[in-house]
Each structure stands twice: as structure tokens, then as C-alpha cells.
Amino acid sequence: MAIPKISRTFGPIHFEDLDPHRFGIFPNVHHIGAFRAEIADMCLMTEAVPHRLDCKKEDFNMLYVKLYSLISRSVGYFIISVSGLLYVQRILSEPADRVIPLALTAIATIAALSALCFSYVPCISDEVDKNSGLYAGEKFLHSTLLMIQTLFLKYVADQLLAIDSIKEILWLQMTISITVGVLLFGIGGYAVTMAALGFDSLNKTLWSHFEKLALKNLRNI
């Protein structure tokens, strides 16, 4: 009985049934053609339904983009939070003349981020991304104002504690120190929170826009 010829074509690959006598040393040689046909059918089925094996190029590329986005947002949020807490710790424990350079640097950085957000918003066409960028700019601006308050409060507290008449009154000195410490911790902590929220919103907006462009470019390939 003659074995039927079976062939399949998958892209540039052509599966063709070979003559069984070429493989006479194998006992089940008559199954080779059918086996090759099954492989070709699997390839065709994978191309028709790509999510079964996740083999589409754009799926893998978008997975990398989303992974980088998650890492960037998580690490950035963590670093800003830790840096803010260290700033609050220093402004509580060190004199004003040693804290001012650090505070001015932080204020300038956050103010620049706020200005960049407000400049970036008019360039965005998507309404959701535009609102997110505006939200980030407002949070950075709010954080800047709060950090300026901590700087002024620290300066006033150090000047009050340097007065000789206050130095002689222990309870007044302790009252000023505790009150200023609580205010600095509260205002500084809130400033850090605003900066972290602004960073998260801006970073999320930029990655979201990048994902849309990446997906669009992949589909055009």
C-alpha cells in the first residue's frame, strides 16, 4: 500500500514527506511524514493564535517595556522617599547653616521639575496624560513651598534658641525645640509625600506615552 504524500508550507519553510526507503533502518518510518505534517500544523496554529505560546514579537517587546516601567517607578519612588526622610532627619538634628545648602539644592531641583511639568503639559494631546502631567506639576510646586517653609522655620528656631534670655529658661528652650521639631517633621514629611506623588505621576505618564508609541511602532513594522 502506497504511503500518501503529505506536505505543509509555513512561511519560508516547506515540509515535504520523504520516501520511506531512505529511512529503512527505522521501524516506524511510515510515521515520519505524518509527524512532519503535525509540526507544520502546530506552526500554522501558533501563527493563527499567537497568545497560546506568546510568540508574537510585539508581545515580548511590550513585556520588556512594561517591566522597565515597573522597575523605574518602584525604584524611583523608593529613592525619593528615602532621600526625603534623610533630609527631614538632617534638618531636625543639624544647625541651619549646615542644612541650608542641602535645602536650597532640593528646592531648586523640585522647582525645576514643577516647571518642566507645566511646560510639558501643553505638548500632550491625550487628555488623561495631560491631567497626569498637570497633577505632577502641582505636587512638585506644593512640595517646593513646603520645603521653603521648613527652611524658614529651621532658621527662625535656631535664631530663637541662640538668644541668651531663652537659653537661661530651660522649659522655654525645650518647648521651642519640641514645637519646632514636630512642625519640621510634619511639614517636611508632607513635602516628601508631595514630591513622591509628583514623581510617580510624571514617571507613569512618560512611561504610558512611551508604551503607546512603542506599540504603534511595532504594529507598523
Q: What is the pLDDT of residue 22?
A: 45
Q: Which residues of 125-138 are buried (b: 16+ CB within 10 A; e: fewer)?
A: eeeebbebbbbbbb
> What tens-digit pLDDT sequence spans the chain (221 residues)?
555 555 555 455 555 554 444 444 444 444 445 544 444 444 444 444 444 444 455 565 667 777 777 787 778 778 888 888 888 888 888 888 888 888 899 999 999 999 999 998 888 887 888 888 899 999 999 999 999 999 999 988 888 888 888 888 888 889 988 999 899 999 999 999 999 999 988 888 888 777 777 767 666 65
Residues 7, 44: Cα–Cα separation, whole Å: 13
pTM of the model: 0.66
Burial of 28 by CB count in 10 Å (0-12 exposed, 13-18 middle, 19+ buried)? exposed
Q: What is the pLDDT of residue 25?
A: 42
Q: What is the pLDDT of residue 115?
A: 94
- Concatenating the DSSP letter of every residue in 140-173 gives HHHHHHHHHHHHHHHHHHHHHHTSHHHHT-HHHH
Residues 26, 47: Cα–Cα separation, whole Å: 32
Q: What is the pLDDT of residue 129?
A: 80
Q: What is the pLDDT of residue 135?
A: 93
Q: Please check whether residue 152 is in contact with residue 188, taking contact to mean a CB–CB distance below 8 angstroms.
A: no
What are the residue ranges spanned by the domains of the chain? Answer: 7-52, 57-220
